[in-house]
């Protein structure tokens, strides 16, 4: 699959607290924008890949857009862990001849929607039955446990978490489409209210309405379209042994997520090393996930991520690894990390509002704490 497919089109709606339109409608809007960006027609589309929790399925999209012959469709589970896997599966479909033009999308009205964990008391199936009824109700509570353990094991501090939030806010201020347009200092971060100790308000991602879409086709076809191709150098999915999603507290290595398993496969398939990556988009539903990802994807040793973040390692302005350059889930929008994929593409195109000069390799990761995925995008 290496260099067989490329992202040729991207599209997104505006981000809002209440967008005022249904998830089905904004999904169609984002897909049409992505096709326009690529210079393709609806009649060109013959493949779709979605999140399995998407409210619009392939039947909805095919009918509402008028796709004439859908030859391939797929879906990926695990919420925030799914984003990059949709791109990988689209690339696999193109590489194996299952489809020629595949659209991946995520539409979510999270800002205006209800709380998905509000009915915990009604009985919980699956993995959640062992944690949700006992107080670990929200994702922030579950990640707070990981954050506290990471602090205990590595010496990471609240200031280190704050450095992540402050860096990404600075990037959002350069992005006119980002939700957060107010500057934030470390003092502002430390003054924000505690949500689930040790996590504060600004450690948490936004609650956004919005939709985004990506178009994948062969590298050869992408070269003849409107935009510079973002070549899919490699993609990987994975999980670890003895894994319990979001609450892996019983495991021998409390903090070990699926990410190191994905990272090992990803870099081997790409034939590159972490040091070769020019820019990264780390899944940032919560700030400690960024520190964990820095360590688990091999950019630094365990315990080094916090001090590096505090030194400006993640900053577009002089950092060694500029990351989440659109503002990410913390300051641009949170749509299960799908906006990170679009920003990864923009970095390869050279069109980001916080563009890394000469970016050739762009890493995008999906959610830590669940079975997850990642991709490396490259210049042609």
Give the model confidence (pLDDT) of 58-103 as tens digits.
Answer: 999 999 999 999 999 999 999 999 999 999 999 999 999 999 999 9
Residues 327-368 have pLDDT tens digits of 999 999 999 999 999 999 999 999 999 999 999 999 999 998
Residues 156-181 have pLDDT tens digits of 999 999 999 999 999 999 999 999 99
Q: How confident is the model at residue 129 (pLDDT cuts 50, 70, 90)?
A: confident
pLDDT on residue 121: 59
Residues 173-215 have pLDDT tens digits of 999 999 999 999 999 999 999 999 999 999 999 999 999 999 9
**Range of weakest confidence among 19-33, 69-83, 100-114:** 100-114
Strands 361-365 and 279-281: parallel
pTM summary value: 0.97
Contact 121, 375 (CB under 8 A): no
Across residues 30-57, what is the average pLDDT? 98
- The C-alpha atoms of residue 9 and residue 222 are separated, in whole angstroms, by 9
**Assigned architecture for domain 5-113+205-378:** 3-Layer(aba) Sandwich (3.40)
pLDDT on residue 25: 98
Contact 361, 376 (CB under 8 A): yes
Annotated catalytic sites, by residue?
283, 334
Across residues 213-234, what is the average pLDDT? 99
Return the bridge partners of 9, or none: 215
Closest CA to 330 of 189, 193, 235: 189
Residue 53 predicted with pLDDT over 80 = yes
Q: Is the peptide bond before 198 cis (omega within 30 degrees of 0)?
A: yes
Q: How confident is the model at residue 117 (pLDDT cuts 50, 70, 90)?
A: low
Residue 272 predicted with pLDDT over 90 = yes
- The C-alpha atoms of residue 138 and residue 366 are separated, in whole angstroms, by 19
Percent of the chain with pLDDT over 70: 98
Instruction: Taking each helix axis as running N to C, give the angle between helix 158-173 and helix 287-296, from 0 to 180 degrees, rounded to the nearest 10.
Output: 100
Q: What is the mean pLDDT of the chain?
A: 96
pLDDT on residue 219: 99
Residue 375's contacts (CB-CB under 8 Å, 6 or more residues apart) are: 84, 87, 88, 232, 233, 234, 235, 236, 266, 341, 344, 363, 364
Q: How confident is the model at residue 118 (pLDDT cuts 50, 70, 90)?
A: low
């Amino acid at each position: 699959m290496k260099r067989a497919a490329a992202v040729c089109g991207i599209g997104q709606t505006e981000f809002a607290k209440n967008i005022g339109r249904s998830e089905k409608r904004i999904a169609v809007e984002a897909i049409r924008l992505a096709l326009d960006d690529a210079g393709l027609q609806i009649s060109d589309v013959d493949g779709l890949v979605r999140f399995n929790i998407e409210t619009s399925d392939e039947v909805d999209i095919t009918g509402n857009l008028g796709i004439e012959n859908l030859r391939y469709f797929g879906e990926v589970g695990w919420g925030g862990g799914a984003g990059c896997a949709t791109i990988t599966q689209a690339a696999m479909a193109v590489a194996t001849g299952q489809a020629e033009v595949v659209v991946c999308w995520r539409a979510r009205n999270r800002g205006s929607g209800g709380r998905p964990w509000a009915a915990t008391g009604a009985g919980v199936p699956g993995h959640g039955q062992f944690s949700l009824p006992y107080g670990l109700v929200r994702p922030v509570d579950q990640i707070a446990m990981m954050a506290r353990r990471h602090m205990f094991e590595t010496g990471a501090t609240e200031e280190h978490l704050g450095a992540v939030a402050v860096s990404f806010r600075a990037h959002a201020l350069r992005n006119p489409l980002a939700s957060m347009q107010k500057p934030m200092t470390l003092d502002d971060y430390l003054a924000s209210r505690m949500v689930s100790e040790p996590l504060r308000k600004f450690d948490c991602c936004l609650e956004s309405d919005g939709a985004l879409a990506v178009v994948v086709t062969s590298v050869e076809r992408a070269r003849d379209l409107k935009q510079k191709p973002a070549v899919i150098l490699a993609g990987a999915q994975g999980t670890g042994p003895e894994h319990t999603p979001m609450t892996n507290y019983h495991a021998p290595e409390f903090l070990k997520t699926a990410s190191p398993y994905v990272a090992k496969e990803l870099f081997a398939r790409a034939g590159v090393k972490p040091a070769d990556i020019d820019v990264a988009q780390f899944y940032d539903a919560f700030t400690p996930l960024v520190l964990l990802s820095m360590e688990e994807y091999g950019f630094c040793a365990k315990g080094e991520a916090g001090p590096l973040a505090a030194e400006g390692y993640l900053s577009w302005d002089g950092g060694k690894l500029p990351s989440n350059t659109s503002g990410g889930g913390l300051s641009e929008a949170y749509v299960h990390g799908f906006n990170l994929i679009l920003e990864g593409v923009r970095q390869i195109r050279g069109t980001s509002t916080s563009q890394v000069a000469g970016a050739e390799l762009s890493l995008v990761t999906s959610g830590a704490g669940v079975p997850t995925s990642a991709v490396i995008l490259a210049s042609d």
